[in-house]
């Protein structure tokens, strides 16, 4: 497997793609700021240069490469496999309630005995990310590692974009299947946030719309904890996510981010579902703890597939970037230190991260985590 990367910073940089074109890549990963998707022409420019390649990617809240974290750029990474076959499927997600069937359709289209892994990217707003993942898992029909994330728009939570073979859309989800016995895949996910305050029971919820905690409107309780930060909702919600524990998380718990608020109903709109009766705690973090979490995620990915890792896809939450501020490059550097100089780093800051929980656990939508997917191919025997 070979990997090459270029970083577009202005419209004058398109010529740098010629170095990738010479590879005749099988797949091209594209992570860029919203402006690269809004202005049109991105898909046609890529298809002209890479007529045979599978295309996938999304808009970001910050782009990740070996150079660190950028804003306003477009990171394009070309992949050339020796023995791995790729299939890319795009399906619309017109409404939030379509998230599960869209995921199910993606899974059914990709399912095959030699399927080894799936990369998936979906819209970052007006979507139930956990339902998308659940549908994809059910559609595949068996345990296959699924990693990816939900597109970003610099923390605005207004309009995000996804790129697939068919083009660019703000309402599509795209999934890439990787097939063949020589694929080597590692993955890891870790947060670094600390819970505080008492646990609150979910007493009324509809999917990912949290209506009541302990019998009170969820927004009322949330504002009470946030104090002065409440005036900046929903943006300030990125700094204070919820910890949710479920039976299949091995006690580690999942993190849920607030994507929006409904002042009329007193509800919180979360990035993923929470079940009725679940216990939620508020969380907060320091920069040092988040960097430690990124290191743990890299160590977990490396433990699963240490040989032949030539690509690392990093998906980190926009909330982490807000907390770390000017030190955001430190978590990418920490990952690079763990993985070593060999892998090409790519990825983005997201509105949600998708990764299995633990070495063999089920795939989940995560929030406020650093998730890492390492990829390579075993040598032919």
Q: In what order do the strands lie in the sheet containing 352-356?
A: 85-92, 172-179, 115-122, 146-150, 352-356, 363-366
DSSP character string of 71-132: SS-EEEEEEE-SS-EEEEEEEE--SGGGHHHHHHHHHHHH--TTEEEEEEEE-SSS--HHHH
Over the stretch 117-167, which tens digit does the pLDDT of each residue have?
999 999 999 899 999 999 999 999 888 999 999 999 998 889 999 999 999
Give the HSE-up count for residue 128: Cα atoms under 13 Å, Cβ half-sphere: 22
Report the candidate in 195, 113, 152, 141 with the shortest Cα–Cα distance to residue 33: 152
CB atoms within 10 A of CB 100: 21
Mean pLDDT, rounded, for 71-92: 97
CA-to-CA distance for 2 and 320, rounded, in angstroms?
Answer: 31
CA angle 113, 93, 144 (to 5 degrees): 20
Question: Is the pLDDT assigned to residue 247 strictly greater than 50?
Answer: no
Q: Which two tokens stand for residue 350?
A: 């997201």
Mean pLDDT, rounded, for 8-32: 94
CA angle 272, 62, 249 (to 5 degrees): 30
CA-to-CA distance for 378 and 182, rounded, in angstroms?
Answer: 5
Q: Identify the weakest region by mean pLDDT among 41-50, 176-185, 256-265, 369-378.
A: 256-265
Burial, 142: exposed, middle or buried (Cβ in 10 Å; 0-12, 13-18, 19+)? exposed
Mean pLDDT, rounded, for 95-101: 95
Over the stretch 33-57, which tens digit does the pLDDT of each residue have?
999 999 889 999 999 999 999 999 9
pLDDT at position 361: 72
Please give the model's pTM, rounded to 2 decimal places: 0.91
Q: What percent of the chain has pLDDT over 90?
A: 78
Task: Work out the pLDDT band at 251, boundaries 50, 70, 90.
Answer: very low
CB atoms within 10 A of CB 24: 12
pLDDT, the chain, mean? 92
Contact indicator for 112, 78 with CB cutoff of 8 Å = no
pLDDT at position 203: 96
pLDDT at position 248: 45
Q: Identify the weakest region by mean pLDDT among 11-15, 347-351, 373-377.
A: 11-15
CA-to-CA distance for 149 and 110, rounded, in angstroms?
Answer: 18
Instruction: Tell which wins on pLDDT, 370 or 362.
Output: 370
Over the stretch 312-362, which tens digit does the pLDDT of each residue have?
999 999 999 999 999 999 999 999 999 998 899 999 999 999 999 877 778
CA atoms 130, 134, 136, 137: torsion sign: positive
Mean pLDDT, rounded, for 8-20: 92
Please, what is the end-to-end C-alpha distance for the chain in angstroms?
A: 15
Question: Is the pLDDT assigned to residue 309 strictly greater than 90?
Answer: no
36: part of which helix (H) or strand (E)?
Answer: helix 34-38
Instruction: Tell which wins on pLDDT, 251 or 322.
Output: 322
pLDDT at position 286: 87
Mean pLDDT, rounded, for 259-287: 90
Contacts of 55 (CB under 8 A, 6+ apart): 27, 28, 30, 43, 46, 47, 88, 163, 164, 165
CA-to-CA distance for 156 and 338, rounded, in angstroms?
Answer: 32
Mean pLDDT, rounded, for 18-25: 94
Tell me how far CA of residue 346 lies from CA of 3, 33, 321, in angstroms. 11, 14, 16
Mean pLDDT, rounded, for 69-82: 97
Q: Which two tokens stand for residue 41?
A: 């022409």
CB atoms within 10 A of CB 103: 30
CB atoms within 10 A of CB 216: 15
CA-to-CA distance for 161 and 122, rounded, in angstroms?
Answer: 8
pLDDT at position 250: 42
Report the candidate in 193, 154, 180 with the shortest Cα–Cα distance to residue 351: 154
DSSP character string of 292-307: HHHHHHHHHHHHH--T
Contact indicator for 270, 218 with CB cutoff of 8 Å = no
Residues 252-269 as b/e (b if ≥16 CB within 10 A, e otherwise) read ebbbbbbbbbeeeebbbb
pLDDT at position 252: 55
């Amino acid at each position: 497997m070979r990997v090459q990367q270029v970083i577009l910073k202005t419209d004058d940089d398109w010529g740098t793609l010629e170095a990738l074109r010479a590879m005749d890549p099988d797949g091209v990963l594209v992570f860029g700021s919203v402006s690269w998707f809004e202005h049109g022409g991105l898909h046609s420019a890529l298809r002209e240069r890479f007529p045979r390649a599978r295309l996938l990617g999304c808009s970001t809240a910050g782009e990740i490469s070996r150079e660190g974290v950028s804003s306003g750029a477009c990171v394009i990474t070309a992949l050339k496999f020796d023995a791995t076959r790729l299939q890319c499927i795009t399906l619309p997600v017109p409404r939030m309630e379509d998230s599960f069937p869209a995921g199910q359709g993606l899974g059914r289209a990709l399912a095959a005995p030699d399927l080894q892994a799936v990369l998936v990217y979906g819209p970052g707003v007006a979507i139930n990310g956990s339902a998308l993942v659940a549908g994809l898992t059910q559609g595949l029909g068996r345990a296959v590692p699924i990693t990816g994330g939900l597109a970003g728009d610099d923390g605005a939570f207004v309009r995000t974009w996804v790129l697939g073979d068919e083009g660019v859309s703000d309402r599509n989800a795209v999934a890439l299947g990787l097939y063949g016995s020589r694929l080597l895949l590692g993955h890891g996910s870790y947060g670094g946030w600390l819970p505080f305050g008492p646990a609150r029971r979910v007493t009324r919820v509809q999917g990912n719309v949290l209506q009541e905690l302990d019998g009170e409107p969820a927004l009322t309780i949330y504002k009470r904890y946030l104090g002065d930060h409440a005036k900046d909702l929903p943006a300030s919600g990125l700094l204070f996510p919820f910890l949710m524990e479920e039976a299949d998380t091995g006690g580690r718990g999942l993190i849920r981010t607030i994507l929006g608020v409904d002042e009329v109903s007193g509800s919180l709109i979360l990035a993923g579902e929470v079940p009725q009766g679940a216990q939620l705690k508020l969380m907060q973090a320091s920069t040092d703890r988040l960097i430690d979490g990124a290191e743990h995620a890299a160590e977990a990915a490396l433990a699963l597939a240490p040989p032949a890792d030539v690509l690392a896809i990093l998906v980190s939450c926009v909330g982490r970037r807000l907390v770390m501020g000017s030190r955001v490059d430190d978590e990418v550097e920490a990952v690079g230190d763990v993985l070593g100089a060999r892998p090409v780093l790519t990825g983005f800051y997201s509105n949600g991260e998708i990764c299995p929980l633990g070495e063999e656990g089920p795939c989940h939508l995560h929030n406020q985590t650093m998730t890492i997917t390492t990829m390579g191919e075993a040598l032919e025997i």
